[in-house]
Amino acid sequence: MAQTMDIAVSKNGKRVLNVWFAVLVLFLYAPLGLLLLFSFNDNNLPVFPLKGFTTSAYEQFAANAELKASVVTSAKVAAISSLIAVLLGLLAAIVLVRRHVFGKSVASALLLSPLVVPYIALAIGLLVFFSQVPEWFPLGMRTIVMGHVVLSIPYTILILVPRFERLDVRIEEAARDLGAGAFQTFRLITLPLILPALVSAFIVAFVLSFDEIIIASFVNGDITTFPIYLFSQLRFPTLLPQVIAVACVVMAASALILVGAEIGRRILERRLGAEL
């Protein structure tokens, strides 16, 4: 063990790790860099050599009402489903960590099962279920939201449960001893301490819902989300530049949101740590 640690912290070991990390980053982000490069290429096809620099794809995207409507639809679905998933994940995390219930391990496995069930099987199951009660759940935005909630709950639980486990229960007990009720203790003590985890869970659920296409394509009805629209337009080479341009815009917006949220989360955790 000591010899392994010595190799890992040696100069050659650090060089190997740095090179491996650089290769990994290049492998992950080189396709995105090519996408950004081709979005400014004066050619309908993403091929080399580049013909010239142009921003016409972004101008066409800005004028495409159907494309912008699909982005707005996906944002609405993601916002609603993420909020519901975080609330349900919060309740599940409280039960799994703070309560002694019979069959807790079985309940935890059932709540996390969407992580191991293939998306296509989950989508077919949701479609069959909604088809049995069409008067209650007509295919559309509501069914997409419900499907994405089922998909996002495990991720919110995996983020919130470790936070609750790290939170000292004696802090909540002290608030109860001082006369605070259950709701008041949660609002004034627990909620501020788990707020960074709630924000992280919401962002993860939002990104997951915004990009999801398999479940949405089964239960969307006549609603077109952003991934569905992009996939349908790949058949038309003349529309490919717009698809690449809007993909770059969405990636840039997602990166800004994630970076801003991570910075805010760290600032909030430091502030809460200083207060405690």
Per-residue model confidence (pLDDT) at position 272: 62
Indicate whether 82 pLDDT > 90. yes
Residue 25 lies inside a defined structural domain of this protein = no
Q: How many domains does the chain have?
A: 1
| Average pLDDT value for residue range 48-59 | 77
Report pLDDT for 81: 93
Instruction: Determine, yes or no, domain membership for 154.
Output: yes
Range of the domain at 78: 69-275
Q: What pLDDT is attached to residue 207?
A: 86
User: Is residue 260 in a domain?
Assistant: yes
Asked if residue 16 is part of any domain, the answer here is no
C-alpha–C-alpha distance, residues 36 and 56, integer Å = 14
Give the pLDDT confidence score for residue 84 in this predicted structure: 94
pLDDT tens digits, one per residue of 207-245: 888 888 888 888 888 888 888 888 887 777 677 777 788
In the chain, the largest separation of any two C-alpha atoms, in whole Å, equals: 73
pLDDT at 1: 46
Domain membership of residue 238 (yes or no) is: yes
> What does the pLDDT average to over 7-14?
68
Q: Which residue has the tokens 């950004």?
A: 36
CATH assignment at residue 98? 1.10.3720.10
Instruction: Establish if 119 belongs to a structural domain.
Output: yes
What whole-number distance in Å separates Cα of residue 99 and Cα of residue 18?
A: 44
How does DSSP assign 56-87, residue by residue? HHHHHHHH-HHHHHHHHHHHHHHHHHHHHHHH
CA–CA distance, 41 with 49 (Å, rounded to integer): 10
